Structure 1
Amino acid sequence: MAATPHALVVQAGEAAGATLTNGAFELLADGGAVSASRLTLTAGADGAPPHHHKLSHELFYVLDGTMLFRLGDTLTTVSKGGLVVIPPGLPHVFGAAEGASADVVVVLSPGIERFGYFEQLAAISRGEAEFASLLPEQDRYDVHFEELPDWRTPPTP
């Protein structure tokens, strides 16, 4: 007999979280069909280093504020109520727009266990670990880092 499917319900205050120097995040679901988190960023703060995913689509829904995204060679601003879906393989980076804070829900599908990745990012943001400590974990977390200095500057044609 097949197992009965079940729903995942995460009530307010039940999510695992971590404080960053530039905001905070809550990990709502970790692995399975989706990985989902809520990220809040202070004005102008970066959200993640430039990267791409080999396996997962990444979806961003802006709950409040304004986000800046670099999607390949495109720089775009997305405000409250906006949605961004990034396919596997597309280099991207994101953060709160200059002078604006942001509150965003981020969903990866298929889900990959990522809480360890977010804990490591938090430790790096607080100066407790080096960025290089994430390099051996790129396949594990499906986060493959890209070289993209000054990502907030529009690319030149």
Structure 2
Amino acid sequence: MMQVKKQLLPTAFTRAANVDSTFAYMGSLMTFFAKGSETSGRFALMEYYTKPGNEPPSHIHEREHELYFVLEGTMRFYCEDKTLDIGGGDVVFLPQGKAHAFTCTTDVVRTLILVQAAGKDAVGLDSYFLAMGEPAGSMVLPESAVTYAVDDPEYAIRVGASTGIRILSPSETQRALPQYPGFGVPVH
């Protein structure tokens, strides 16, 4: 007789933004309100607290859609042929499979990031952040942290590939996002 593997169903929980739920990630803080491992891989919800210079390079999510809701500050997103400026109370939606990048256009940015599975694969962005970060020592942005601007990109590329995130090369970025000024270029 064939046994059917029982799938674990999510259970109810609460979580607060505190040092226990937060990781230091590439000069920023990432609070994990809901991880994919807690939602049967269907979505993850995180708060991202950052500043200019800590942004990731251009990339593509191969497994999920991504939605940002800005709590504080302003950001400029580049996706498809669009340049999208958003601030407190605004939302930007970035579809799965589309190259995108962003810059912080104020001194501090706080945003909620919701990722939702776009197919049969579980979300991977939360796993990427966890692998790239370490438990936070405080809820204050790190002063002298390793960021994408000074880190060896090979590790991020490998972690990204294992979690459904494809980091683009400069030439791929130029083709996919010709309006993007380039990684590390401040925009105000």
Aligned-pair identity (%): 19
**Contact kept? 2:74, 2:109, Cα under 8 Å:** yes
Alpha-carbon shift at residue 112 of structure 1 (Å)? 2.5
Question: Structure 2, unaligned stretches of length 5 or more?
Answer: 1-6, 134-144, 183-188
Match among 7, 17, 38 for residue 23 of structure 2: 17
Q: Looking at CA atoms only, which structure, 1 or 2, has the larger radius of gyration? A: 2
Alpha-carbon shift at residue 152 of structure 1 (Å)? 4.3
State TM-score, norm by structure 1.
Answer: 0.77
Alpha-carbon shift at residue 129 of structure 1 (Å)? 5.2
Match of 2:181 in 1: 153
Residue deviations 1:63-109, cap 9 Å, x none? 01101101122222101000011111111011311x44211111111
> For the structure 1 residues 87 and 61, does the alpha-carbon distance in structure 2 shift closer, same or farther, using more than 3 Å as the test?
same
Q: In structure 1, what is the Cα distance between the partners aligned to 2:109 and 2:82?
A: 20
Residue deviations 1:99-143, cap 9 Å, x none? 442111111112525455225545852889521112233342111
Match of 2:136 in 1: none
Match of 1:71 in 2: 79
Residue deviations 1:1-45, cap 9 Å, x none? x98763232123241321543x32222222122122111122x33
Aligned length: 151
Question: Structure 1, unaligned stretches of length 5 or more?
Answer: none
Q: CA RMSD in A?
A: 3.2
Match among 113, 138, 145 for residue 160 of structure 2: 138
Match among 30, 47, 57 for residue 38 of structure 1: 47
Give the alignment of 1:56-95 within 5 angstroms: 56-95=64-103
Structure having the larger proportion of residues in strand? 1
Match of 1:112 in 2: 123
- Greater Cα offset, 6-15 or 100-109: 6-15
Partner amino acid, structure 2, of 1:112: V
> For the structure 1 residues 77 and 135, does the alpha-carbon distance in structure 2 shift closer, same or farther, using more than 3 Å as the test?
same
State TM-score, norm by structure 2.
Answer: 0.66
Q: In structure 1, what is the Cα distance between the partners aligned to 2:156 and 2:99?
A: 17
Q: In structure 1, what is the Cα distance between the partners aligned to 2:15 and 2:90?
A: 23
